[in-house]
Chain A
């Protein structure tokens, strides 16, 4: 009797901060945003309840084009992070010596000590017309005049991959770390080629890590603000920028809230589609049995 009471108490004590966090900082603001998005402005200080803001979004191609562009580029960034991150994660988890593993992992974490803003400026220093790379290319004689490498989509994608790749590596390393080397040996012993072992053993085993990495990276990318704007310059069109513009420069909280809800809904849908296509579900990506 007493025992179960203590159990209950400790459960309540442990859960309280978590529940408060979820309710106060995630659930309530989301509900508030949804409520604001359903408020139509009909005049100064006059509002009506309705779906006008959503209809306005559908009717304006600039808005949904930006959303699609953001989603498409985020998917590209996710795929590239996976391609870049997988070999690194595999090396750290399986090939590197036990002793150097921690060091390598730490090396991956170091960029996180520097803020996003500073890292984006780092790219600007490298890539701008009077920047290091342009200067080096001229010095070597590969190009005649200064080259501008900022302010285009390629730069934005590179910058984003650099910012988020770590969030791909961490879950991959922890999944691959749990894989028994004897599984690989068994695969080779049974006559599997490197490709077969990779395709039939490593990838299926790492799938939960791949999926959770992809989800984190996709969400981070679609919701990023600084990198696309700083590196994209005159050609950056990122959906978060639209949300900021609506809230701040146009005093239009209703439209901004609508965009926020749409971004959340749309990215959730993309993830749901991704899970369906890979035959995974959310539960299997967080807890492996």
Chain B
């Protein structure tokens, strides 16, 4: 009996020791994109900071905002929405907290991208985001079958009927508007004008619907359609196109003549994040050149650090070089901040297109 008692006591002591040990270790809860937290990097991070445990939730822009909104910014310690999803969302729902830039090594960041993100995400003099990965949305084609894809509207070319695809989201609305000679970002300040542009775009995309195979919904979906040859030309993220280039060198990323649309995924700290220091440690950690290399291999995109292109893996660099000339880089159109109300107008337009039957 005594023996059993002491055994119980010892077990209890162990349990207490383990549980206090666990509570002294900090948890960093990341809310990020599919490939932005590969196991390899998490392992290296946890080796360097043994008292921090990393938990990852994969998501996308809309779901990140929805998740944080549902809890008023609690439940995660670091989120990575795109730069255009911060300003209006913060004013509306208050789900982020201002960054302490002194804790981030901004000197390694590409100044143009850093200033761009800062300008887009400063509210009342407080900065809410810094850049991480950036990339573009543009076109992709199997050049052996579609040699001359140039513009967003070429997806509606009847000679490729039933063999093109796009994602029915705001990117294609903006791209089509540019292809029609409009400047949707300039029209953000005049919503009536923006509505007339959207109406024209909707008309064009509804007429185009018959030409499409289907709307793709995610990177894997799109890869499948392209690799099987069911689709020969599509709107795409550049990173998806680069990945496919490695498997089929005929599949090229093509920046549209009106300019590829560029996005920057950022680092933000949710309003009720509980591990700010760990979050800053993660940010600085993944900005180190050797980690950037690993990260880019996983995401297929470039990091917002100086000389990022040289840190890309060999095959990705070849794909980028094949896709972009310096002129194309100058021609990039960065997504402008989404002002309140625009999300709704674009959403209605997308619904209209989806509901239309040929």
- Cβ of B206 to closest chain A Cβ, rounded Å: 11
- Cβ of A131 to closest chain B Cβ, rounded Å: 9
Which B residues from 309 to 358 make CB contacts under 8 A with A?
340, 343-344, 347, 351-352, 354-355, 357
Q: Does any Cβ of A come within 8 Å of B114's Cβ? A: no
| Cβ–Cβ contact A151 & B91, under 8 A | no
The docked-state distance in angstroms from the alpha carbon of A249 to that of B65 is: 9
| Cβ–Cβ contact B66 & A62, under 8 A | no
| Cβ–Cβ contact B230 & A249, under 8 A | no
- Cβ of B230 to closest chain A Cβ, rounded Å: 5
* A133-163 near B? 1/0 per residue, CB < 8 Å: 0000000000000001011000000000000
| Cβ–Cβ contact A235 & B357, under 8 A | yes
- Cβ of A71 to closest chain B Cβ, rounded Å: 16
The docked-state distance in angstroms from the alpha carbon of A148 to that of B278 is: 51
- Cβ of B351 to closest chain A Cβ, rounded Å: 5
Q: Does any Cβ of A come within 8 Å of B290's Cβ? A: no
Contacts of A151 in B (CB 8 A): 213-214
Contacts of B117 in A (CB 8 A): none
Select from chain A the residue with minimum beta-carbon distance to B165.
Answer: A234
Q: Does any Cβ of A come within 8 Å of B116's Cβ? A: no
| Cβ–Cβ contact B66 & A248, under 8 A | yes
| Cβ–Cβ contact A148 & B347, under 8 A | no
- Cβ of B354 to closest chain A Cβ, rounded Å: 6
- Cβ of A256 to closest chain B Cβ, rounded Å: 10
Q: Which of A45, A234, A242, A249 is close to B214, meaning CB atoms less than 8 Å apart?
A: A234
Contacts of A251 in B (CB 8 A): 62, 65-66, 69, 89, 92-93, 343
| Cβ–Cβ contact A150 & B344, under 8 A | no
| Cβ–Cβ contact A233 & B230, under 8 A | no
- Cβ of A52 to closest chain B Cβ, rounded Å: 14
The docked-state distance in angstroms from the alpha carbon of A77 to that of B340 is: 41
Chain B count of residues within 8 A CB distance of the other chain: 30
Select from chain B the residue with minimum beta-carbon distance to A250.
Answer: B347
Q: Does any Cβ of B come within 8 Å of A225's Cβ? A: no
- Cβ of A227 to closest chain B Cβ, rounded Å: 14
Q: Which of B63, B162, B228, B344 is close to A250, meaning CB atoms less than 8 Å apart?
A: B344
| Cβ–Cβ contact B347 & A150, under 8 A | no
Q: Does any Cβ of B come within 8 Å of A128's Cβ? A: yes
Contacts of B344 in A (CB 8 A): 250, 252
Contacts of B94 in A (CB 8 A): 45
Q: Does any Cβ of B come within 8 Å of A129's Cβ? A: yes
| Cβ–Cβ contact B63 & A248, under 8 A | yes
Q: Which of A129, A237, A245 is close to B347, meaning CB atoms less than 8 Å apart?
A: A245
- Cβ of A111 to closest chain B Cβ, rounded Å: 24
The docked-state distance in angstroms from the alpha carbon of A251 to that of B346 is: 12
Which B residues from 213 to 244 make CB contacts under 8 A with A?
213-215, 228-230
Select from chain A the residue with minimum beta-carbon distance to B215.
Answer: A234
| Cβ–Cβ contact B347 & A44, under 8 A | no
Q: Does any Cβ of B come within 8 Å of A66's Cβ? A: yes
Q: Does any Cβ of A come within 8 Å of B209's Cβ? A: yes
| Cβ–Cβ contact B351 & A62, under 8 A | yes
Q: Does any Cβ of A come within 8 Å of B212's Cβ? A: yes
| Cβ–Cβ contact A129 & B230, under 8 A | yes
Q: Does any Cβ of B come within 8 Å of A247's Cβ? A: yes
- Cβ of B221 to closest chain A Cβ, rounded Å: 9
Which A residues from 18 to 67 make CB contacts under 8 A with B?
44-45, 62, 65-66
Contacts of A44 in B (CB 8 A): 91-92, 340
Are A233 and B66 CB-contacts (below 8 A) given A66-B355, A130-B230, A250-B343? Answer: no
Q: What are 14 pairs between A and B in contact, CB < 8 Å?
A: A44-B340, A65-B355, A128-B228, A129-B213, A129-B228, A237-B354, A249-B62, A249-B347, A250-B343, A250-B347, A251-B62, A251-B69, A251-B89, A251-B343
Q: Residues of A at under 8 Å CB distance from B?
A: 44-45, 62, 65-66, 128-130, 148, 150-151, 233-235, 237, 242, 245-252
Starting from the known contacts A234-B209, A248-B62, A251-B93, 4 additional A-B residue pairs (CB-CB under 8 Å) come to A62-B355, A128-B228, A234-B215, A252-B347
Q: Residues of B at under 8 Å CB distance from A?
A: 62-63, 65-66, 69, 89, 91-94, 162, 168-169, 209, 212-215, 228-230, 340, 343-344, 347, 351-352, 354-355, 357
